[in-house]
Amino acid sequence: MNATFWAGKNVLLTGHTGFKGSWLSLWLQQLGANVTGLALDPPTNPSLFEAAKVAEGMTSIIGDIRDLATVKKAFSRCKPEIVIHMAAQSLVLHSYENPVETYETNLMGTVHILEACRQFDSVNSAVMITTDKCYENKEWLWPYRENEAMGGHDPYSSSKGCCELVISAYRSSFFSDERQNTAIASARAGNVIGGGDWADNRLIPDFMQCIMKGERVTIRSPNSIRPWQHVLEPLRGYLTLAEKLWENGEKYSDGWNFGPNQSDAREVQWIVNHIAKLWGQGASWQLDTETHPHEAAYLKLDCSRAHTLLAWEPHISLPTTLEWIVEWYKQYQQKSDMRKVSMQEIARYQALGKMKE
C-alpha cells in the first residue's frame, strides 16, 4: 500500500456510516483523500460513525443505494476517481427475517453502483466488497480459493454470491473494452472485528456491550470456527487493490480473498474466553440453548493470491487484535476522544506495517 497515492484523490465510499465504512473513512481522511460517503443513517446507536465524528473530515450523503437516481446524484456530486462499494445488509440472522430487503440492498444496490461506474467517465477503479460467505460452503477443512463456486445457504450469503456473479457479468459486458478505462474487482473478507462495532447478533459487539454493563453474555455457537481478523487488515487489502487497479486494471480486475493467517481461525469460545481475561472485572459468558437459524460452522479463505500478487499479508495476530479491541472499548467507556483514539490506532497499524517492510 502506497500512502502517498491517496492524497487528493476523489473517492466515493458507500456504507461509510457502518462499522467498516467508518474505519475506512477515517483512514482515507488521514491519507489526504477527498472522501464522499453515500449510506443510510448509522445502523446502530451508539455507532463508530458518531462516536469518532467521522463526518467531520468528509462529505457525507445520506441516501439509499436501492435508488439508482440517488446513486447517480452522489456520483455527479463527487466525480469519483475511485469507488469503494461497502454498503450492504450484512447480518445473517437479519437476512432470515428480512430476505427481500437483503436482496434489494445487496444485489440491486451493487447493480446500481456498477451502472453508475459505467455511466461516469471519471471512475478509474472500483473495488466491490462482498464477503467470504459468497462461496458455496461445503464446510470442508481446506480454505476456499477465488475460483471456487459461488453459493450461500442463507439469504445474506446467497445475495453476496449473486453480487459476485453480477460483478463478473458487468466486468465482462461493459468494462473489458479498450475504450472503457474503469477497472473492477471484488474483495472477500472473513469475520472482521474491531473497536466501535455495535451491530446486533455479532459476537464482539454483543460481548462488549454486556461486559461494559457488568452482565453475562450469552453465546450461540461456541464451537464454530471463524477466520477472525482486525478490521484494518482487509481495509488495507481494499486500498492496495484499488491502487493496483489504477496502475494495471487488466491484471488485477478479478476476485480477491483477504483473510487472516490460518492460525487465527479460532473457535468462538476461545475468543470470548480471551476477551474476558483481557477485560477482567469478572467478565464471563453462558451458552444459549435456544434454536437458531443455520449458520456455517467452518469457513476459511485461501489468500495466497493476495500474498503473491498484492504483497498483502496480515500484520497483527489475533491475540493482539483482541488487545486492541478491549483497549478501544475501555477508552470509549472512559469517554475519551474516540476520533483521536481511532486515528491513533490507524497510525499505530500503519507504523507496524512499515516495520515489517
Q: Which domain holds residue 265?
A: 6-356
Segments in the chain below pLDDT 70: 178-179, 289, 291-298, 355-357
Q: Are residues 128 and 15 in contact, defined by beta-carbon separation less than 8 angstroms?
A: no
CA atoms lying within 13 Å on the CB side of residue 173: 9
Residue 1 included in any domain: no
User: Can you tell me the distance from the alpha carbon of 357 to that of 352, in angstroms, rounded to the nearest whole number?
Assistant: 9
- Number of independent structural domains in the chain: 1
Q: What angle do CA 68, 72, 76 make, to 5 degrees?
A: 170
User: What's 256's domain CATH number?
Assistant: 3.40.50.720
Q: Are residues 328 and 196 in contact, defined by beta-carbon separation less than 8 angstroms?
A: yes
Average pLDDT of the residues of the chain: 91
Structure confidence by residue, pLDDT tens digits, 289-307: 676 565 555 678 899 999 9
User: Can you tell me the distance from the alpha carbon of 183 to that of 65, in angstroms, rounded to the nearest whole number?
Assistant: 21
Which of 246, 257, 270 minimizes the C-alpha distance to 321? Answer: 270
- The whole-number pLDDT of residue 292 equals 59
